[in-house]
Structure 1
């Protein structure tokens, strides 16, 4: 009996249900789908590599612990983001509770101040932006190869690429770049809507 194949078109709910039934391939697919998003949360908060790895491991360990109790598997992305934010805040506060303020060594006068945890939370806007970026990456992965390549060349380069170079890279006439881009953006918009991007 062949193993099931999970790809970008497999819904989160289907992956979670398969994970709940012990499917290791589904678990690997779920982790792969969200690893960049989960790593990005502590990274943007300024944590180092080891701390980011801790957030990642703890987030997915907590998911394993609660897997049987997830009653809205289609919302696992939001659950993971919330959990990663909490773990990031926990690790950040723990690390900064005992570190002296930059440029100072704690003494009798500033020791209490140096041990205060930083109360600033990870901004909700940042978490929302990371989640939006993830949704766009997932939707791009669902597009056909030509649309994916075209949109990546047009919108995901450090420097804007001239249409002439884009046309050559994609293998289409220069005059069709604009109309093709419009069609590809419409497809991307539909996929994002299906995934709840505009909700």
Structure 2
């Protein structure tokens, strides 16, 4: 866990209300963005983000500082998203759906000379095709793919977060990639 997170968590455990606000401010946007990508509805994403922080604060005394705080936080958020998907029987997750803030950031990032409009259009089309394939994954594959590729968590962090054996995480990611590859090859044939 980063030194800043460790210090903020220590202050939260001591009852410092400003530290609670710092944790929320530090991770609110990322948690909301992940929930929005998985749930596709702003209201549901807001509910999950709020519930995530409520559960985090209630469970801070059970948090193990030897583990990365962000992985623990995103695990709680991911589980709440999966529960919401199960309850509402929502359509699959969208990794590439972007909210207004993300689009704004993306515009700022493309200030320097970069790819032209044709290349950007081509990339967006590739993202849409990839997203269609990702949407077709079963939830237990989709969540590990999201945690690995969207949240950049290591296999070990995913295993810890989901309380799965490391081999299971590796197998799910491998199977998800194989499934995506076979579906992609089926489309291009």
The alignment's TM-score, normalised by the length of structure 1, stands at: 0.47
Which one has the bigger helix percentage?
2
Specify the structure having the higher radius of gyration (Cα). 1
